[in-house]
Amino acid sequence: MSNGIGIVGGGLLGLGLADKLAARGVNVTVYESSPQLGGLAGSTELGGVRVDRFYHAVTTSDQRVLDLADELGVNVRWRRLGGGFYHDAQTAEMSTPMQLLTFPGLSAADRARLVRFVLRPATWAVFAAALDRTAGEQATE
């Protein structure tokens, strides 16, 4: 019987560790309870496209992830980061005032209420006061 190592969990940690051990010639077995690998960093299919199961972003300063991608021969293609909401089989951003006003998932009345809420003079003051209390004035500034 050959010696080997069993790793419980086929998420990023388990798979990364398995890869490192296997590269050193260790006989590794990964035990994963779910039908697919990847754990929190796994993907799922949405409208014929594979997307993150949870939102994930890699930035140019994530050196360890970039090194890992390099080791695995994964070609990283950089894209501008945007935020989108999937609604009624289409994605729409809601970051700028114009996107907010044209967001397809809101009725005209909903939009008007949201704009009124955002423009309420008290909104920022209430938020800033809460931030001051919890994070301190320096964080707010």
The residues of the shown chain that bind ligand FAD, judged by CB under 6 A, are: 8-14, 31-34, 39-41, 54-57
| Residue closer to ligand FAD, measured from CB, 7 or 100 | 7
CB of 9 to ligand FAD, least distance (A): 3
The span from the CA of 56 to the CA of 60, in Å, is 14
| Residue closer to ligand FAD, measured from CB, 13 or 135 | 13
Answer yes or no: are the C-beta atoms of 85 and 94 closer than 8 Å.
Answer: yes
Cβ within 8 Å of residue 133, ≥6 positions away:
none
The span from the CA of 33 to the CA of 5, in Å, is 17
CB of 51 to ligand FAD, least distance (A): 13
| Residue closer to ligand FAD, measured from CB, 19 or 132 | 19
CB of 105 to ligand FAD, least distance (A): 21
The DSSP 8-state label assigned to residue 124 in this structure reads: H
* Residue owning tokens 């950089």: 78
| Residue closer to ligand FAD, measured from CB, 2 or 33 | 33
Q: How far apart are the first and last CA of the chain?
A: 63
